[in-house]
Amino acid sequence: MSKTPKLRFPEFSGVWEEKKLGNEFQLSSGSTPSKANKEYFNGDNYWVTSGELKKKYIKSTIDKISDNAIKECNLKKYPSGTFVIAIYGLEASGTRGSCSILKSDATISQACMAFKPKGKVSNEFLYYWYIKHGEKIGIKYAQGTKQQNLNSDLVGDIKITIPYKEEQQKIANFFSLIDKKIEKQQEKVKALKDYKKGMMQKIFSREIRFKGDNGEEYPEWEEKKLMDIAECLDNRRKPLNSNERSIIQGNIPYYGANGVVDFVNKYIFNEDIILLAEDGGNFDDFATKPIAQLVKGKSWINNHAHVLKAKYNTDFLFYSLVHKDIRKYINGTSRAKLNKSDMLDILVKMPKSLDEQVKISKFLEKIYTKLEKEQEKLDSLNEWKKGLLQQMFV
């Protein structure tokens, strides 16, 4: 394996060194005080859980523990600047590779491991190295049957390839600037999502009403069943397994319950349709995640999404459904399912005036288009960072 990265700052040269993490860091995991003892969780000491290892820096924690908890549970308080990783539950992709740097003195749970430097590796450099390698480390080294875990012996034997401190610092500073750029874009996307959510709530609660071109008031809204305002095209759906899809790869989207699953070179629909998840949908998370999809043009739909063709205004019907609470129509316990008959009974409030439906649709479309563009910028930044991590670390 090469001991130098593919991409490097021009002022640096020479081969990077390969070191064992156990030689460069003192590794230790934390402890979890008993929740039964309420006094333990009535204190001022930060206590980090693996679920909080989502951002680069941890400034505070959800739970705070007492001095007695630290003493009686043999917990150690780690200084600000300590690098921490998740070591339990690594069978879950959302947990594998999770890491953060403490920005305040804190204790950690038994599901976390702290790295105390004793060699040549800076914690900032280590953080970005682990962002690149953490997922693979979890897959390759974690042990266990039901729950996949790491321990200090396993982690200590993992090798890291490093440059001199000056180059480490420059690399870490460079990625910190990228993170700030990503953070600003995330804030922009979040602000647009909040604005979209607020406007949709006001429009569909009729707190905001549109007027005609001459300033006239539109008639009041009416409530209709989905069967009266849309045609169900479920009989045209056709599922394809992965082998069948591999034979007809192309650029036409193949949809499932919550979005595009694959791309094929054939289609069974070539029209404006709305998809509503039949099973496995985001029914409980309707406020933040879409339960409906708007599809325009050629597409292939499998049997995990109901297919609707609006009788009046497709866009308006989509906006009416995309964040609608339809949980009372859902069946099943282990896997939520929306049966066709129940779906067609869903009640939808809508303007009597088609003109008002169009005005609402155009207004919301502008917000969605703006949000889509800003999300694409965010996705591009994340992909750019990912590519640089691959090239600038060994």
User: Within this chain, do residues 288 and 148 fall inside the same structural domain, yes or no?
Assistant: no
CA separation (Å) from 49 to 83, 129, 278, 346? 13, 21, 35, 41
User: Within this chain, do residues 359 and 346 fall inside the same structural domain, yes or no?
Assistant: no
Q: What is the CA radius of gyration of the chain?
A: 26
Of residues 111, 53, 110, the one with CA closest to residue 82? 53
User: b vs e for 134-172, b when ≥16 Cβ sit within 10 Å of the residue's Cβ?
Assistant: beebbeebbeeeeebbbebebbeebebbbbeeebbebbb
pLDDT at 2: 67
pLDDT in tens, 251-296: 999 999 999 999 999 999 999 999 999 988 888 899 889 999 999 9
pLDDT at 145: 82
Assess whether pLDDT exceeds 70 at residue 1: no
Length of the chain: 394
- Amino acid letter for position 88: Y
pLDDT at 94: 85
User: Within this chain, do residues 178 and 262 fall inside the same structural domain, yes or no?
Assistant: no
- C-alpha 204/C-alpha 302 separation (Å) is 30
User: Within this chain, do residues 239 and 300 fall inside the same structural domain, yes or no?
Assistant: yes
Query: Can you give the pTM of this predicted structure?
Result: 0.85
User: Within this chain, do residues 22 and 154 fall inside the same structural domain, yes or no?
Assistant: yes
- C-alpha 59/C-alpha 362 separation (Å) is 42
Q: Which two tokens stand for residue 291?
A: 């339960």
User: Could you tell me the CATH number of the domain that includes residue 378?
Assistant: 1.10.287.1120
pLDDT in tens, 167-188: 999 999 999 999 999 999 999 9
Q: Which two tokens stand for residue 124?
A: 């900032």
Q: How remote is the C-alpha of 302 from its chain's centroid?
A: 24
Residue 123, Cβ density class (10 Å: 0-12 exposed, 13-18 middle, ≥19 buried): middle
Assess whether pLDDT exceeds 90 at residue 336: no
- C-alpha 61/C-alpha 45 separation (Å) is 9
Q: Which two tokens stand for residue 20?
A: 């064992």
Average pLDDT over residues 103-114: 97
User: Within this chain, do residues 206 and 305 fall inside the same structural domain, yes or no?
Assistant: no
Of residues 322, 291, 104, the one with CA closest to residue 201? 322
Domain encompassing residue 41:
17-162
User: Within this chain, do residues 272 and 327 fall inside the same structural domain, yes or no?
Assistant: yes
User: Within this chain, do residues 22 and 129 fall inside the same structural domain, yes or no?
Assistant: yes
- Amino acid letter for position 143: Q
Average pLDDT over residues 178-202: 96
More confident site: 390 or 119: 390
Q: Are strands 249-256 and 298-301 parallel, antiparallel or unpaired?
A: parallel
Strand-pairing partners, residue 143, are: 149
Strand-pairing partners, residue 33, are: none
Assess whether pLDDT exceeds 90 at residue 92: no
User: Could you tell me the CATH number of the domain that includes residue 342?
Assistant: 3.90.220.20
Q: What is the dihedral of CA 380, 386, 392, 394, to 10 degrees?
A: -160
- C-alpha 136/C-alpha 152 separation (Å) is 17
Assess whether pLDDT exceeds 80 at residue 213: yes
pLDDT in tens, 229-248: 999 999 999 999 999 999 99
SS (HEC) of 130-199: HHHHHHHHHHHHCECCCCCECCHHHHHCCEEEECCHHHHHHHHHHHHHHHHHHHHHHHHHHHHHHHHHHH
Q: Kindly report the average pLDDT of the chain as a whole number.
A: 95
- C-alpha 277/C-alpha 346 separation (Å) is 13
- C-alpha 270/C-alpha 301 separation (Å) is 11
- Amino acid letter for position 316: F
At 302 the three-state DSSP class reads: coil
Average pLDDT over residues 12-27: 95
User: Within this chain, do residues 156 and 169 fall inside the same structural domain, yes or no?
Assistant: no
DSSP 42-94: SSSEEEE-GGGTTSSEE---SEEE-HHHHHHTT--PBPTT-EEEE-S-TTSTT
pLDDT at 265: 97
pLDDT in tens, 339-355: 999 999 999 999 999 99
Of residues 7, 293, 29, the one with CA closest to residue 156? 29
pLDDT at 352: 94
pLDDT at 124: 96
pLDDT at 93: 83
User: Within this chain, do residues 280 and 307 fall inside the same structural domain, yes or no?
Assistant: yes
Count of domains in the chain?
Answer: 3
Assess whether pLDDT exceeds 70 at residue 161: yes
Judge whether 316 and 361 are in contact, CB under 8 Å. Answer: yes
Contacts with 19 (C-beta within 8 Å, 6 or more apart), sequence order: 119, 120, 121, 159, 160, 161, 162
Average pLDDT over residues 182-208: 95
User: Within this chain, do residues 225 and 123 fall inside the same structural domain, yes or no?
Assistant: no
User: Within this chain, do residues 107 and 141 fall inside the same structural domain, yes or no?
Assistant: yes
